[in-house]
Structure 1
């Protein structure tokens, strides 16, 4: 189907984050046509946002509907399998939580989308914050010269007040690794995905599914760029959470960081010598932008986008760290 200049009909295979559904609904760029989820409560909340949507009792029922795109939610069982099944039915797919997939699964999904020439999108919400957009644009303009070092940090205490942080399977390693992958993606995306030359671990402590998980990794990229990724779910940091991505160049540094321990409020700082300057500050309603942008792309072109293939490199790097 040629979707150009038409309003695509979407199905939600797993409701996922209501904020994304609400962002798509309020954008008026698509019709939310079919909903499927194992949680009656989530379905009820979703229908309040999209009252005209039909409820599909099974995932097969949803995939059999006349849809122009499917958004696969984070709670969906067999996330990768269902995404591949949709692609094989020639239905474009947006994955709300791509970090459920390992490197082999990602390769299979991307290969299926490429073979079917079908649009495939992944949810990288921090790319769409005003703070990170600012940093990427300034680095591209040569604001800090050639980037030589990137420091990525995520430290959380047991006082984080976001409910998702304590809900299985996110608790402990999963939440930390998820945020670590987001930060690593920001480094790769900002630098336009330079080749990965080597990956090494400085330390990985405790069980991968322990609340006390800690890891430090070093990634060396083409053009002599050194990336350090440090994550911990138990380090006493003096804050509920510390999130930071600092890009260091010949003429200074640019830093993306959270404010007051929040996992939603972010700012951009420009650093030169001992001084720093705030360039971007909240408020910024960024949470649903990745999904809305995918819908915008779907309206114009439903065919495979080479950008999707770059996620394979990211998952391979994470596999090397773990």
Structure 2
């Protein structure tokens, strides 16, 4: 394969499995970089395939992932239903192909760990489409935390309420999706909380609901409302809430607020938008604007992956933080470790220690 220590002499050939709205959007974003070639795509929907053909007229349509992998690819983009993510990613790594996968990477921490290990064993790049990481407001808040401008971070409040629900039936079957709104929306909140606190989670408590009725850990239904509290080793606390179909008076309520001993900071959506965000720093009663829309954050994860593949990058041990995220989500669902006092710690260092150099 052309992936190696130096950039390939030609543009990497990328395959796209699943070219519905999200898959086509990621294809368009990657092509806009000029760094990759869309070589092949696969989707059972003729309408979706026609949309992909308009974006990449020279690309071929394959029957499925296996047929796609016969096209001498450098990377694949996976935008299929969640139940297929881990298995398809592992098959691609077994063929020596880098992977950019829609979230969630797997339906459980066990599935996520299997994908990270497959990436490590094949020494191929693994990217996960957690696009909110790339929002300018998140970057500004992360800089404030890293520089110590907020003081010691000790509390956070993160919400993602969607006035609608998914339009695909498989989202509502936990066996296929891995859960409900937590694994769909809450994964972004958990990912942001863990990246900014950067310390082990000691305790997780949660409450899940379906149409207003509490769900127990053994009930096989997808929750449409959830709240959770993460307590970190230092005693810092992050509160999370997410939902589908909430009567919120707008399309969406998305907010991440962080409080430190010196100042606070917040990212929030504007007017119910899924795309427009502002970020502010709070000092007492004073608010200082950090950034305003527009911000093309939702294409940056895909474009970053395309550029990294074009540079010939191989396995990045940092992706193992997704195992940590998945372990916290497992705890929210009540399917975590038998010993609920076991800290959920970052595992990237351990994975990196055994990766190929």
TM over 0.5: yes
Structure 1 residues 265 and 176, CA, compared in 2 at 3 Å: closer, same or farther? farther
The answer to whether the Cα contact below 8 Å between 1:94 and 1:121 also exists between their aligned partners in 2 is yes
Give the secondary structure class of the aligned counterpart of 1:87.
Answer: helix
Give the equivalent residue in structure 1 for 2:19.
15
Q: For residues 193-212 of structure 1, what are the structure 2 equivalents within 5 Å?
A: 193-201=198-206, 203-206=207-210
Q: For residues 276-315 of structure 1, what are the structure 2 equivalents within 5 Å?
A: 276-315=287-326
Give the equivalent residue in structure 1 for 2:244.
233
Give the secondary structure class of the aligned counterpart of 1:276.
Answer: strand
Structure 1 residues 278 and 96, CA, compared in 2 at 3 Å: closer, same or farther? same
Moved more, 76-85 or 172-181: 172-181
Give the equivalent residue in structure 2 for 1:223.
234
Q: For residues 34-183 of structure 1, what are the structure 2 equivalents within 5 Å?
A: 34-75=40-81, 78-98=84-104, 100-157=106-163, 160=164, 165-170=166-171, 174-175=180-181, 177-183=183-189
Are 1:5 and 2:10 matched, yes or no? no
The answer to whether the Cα contact below 8 Å between 2:33 and 2:307 also exists between their aligned partners in 1 is no
Structure 1 residues 176 and 312, CA, compared in 2 at 3 Å: closer, same or farther? closer
Measured after TM superposition, the shift of residue 50 of structure 1 is: 0.9
Measured after TM superposition, the shift of residue 240 of structure 1 is: 2.8
How many residues are treated as equivalent by the alignment? 315
Moved more, 168-177 or 291-300: 168-177
Give the secondary structure class of the aligned counterpart of 1:218.
Answer: strand
- Give the Cα separation in 2 of the matches to 1:219 and 1:258: 23
- Give the Cα separation in 2 of the matches to 1:212 and 1:2: 44
TM-score (norm 1): 0.90
Structure 1 residues 74 and 59, CA, compared in 2 at 3 Å: closer, same or farther? closer
Give the equivalent residue in structure 1 for 2:31.
25
Gaps of 5+ in 2: 174-178, 334-357
Moved more, 312-321 or 77-86: 77-86
Q: What is the CA RMSD across the aligned residues, in angstroms?
A: 2.2
- Give the Cα separation in 2 of the matches to 1:177 and 1:76: 10
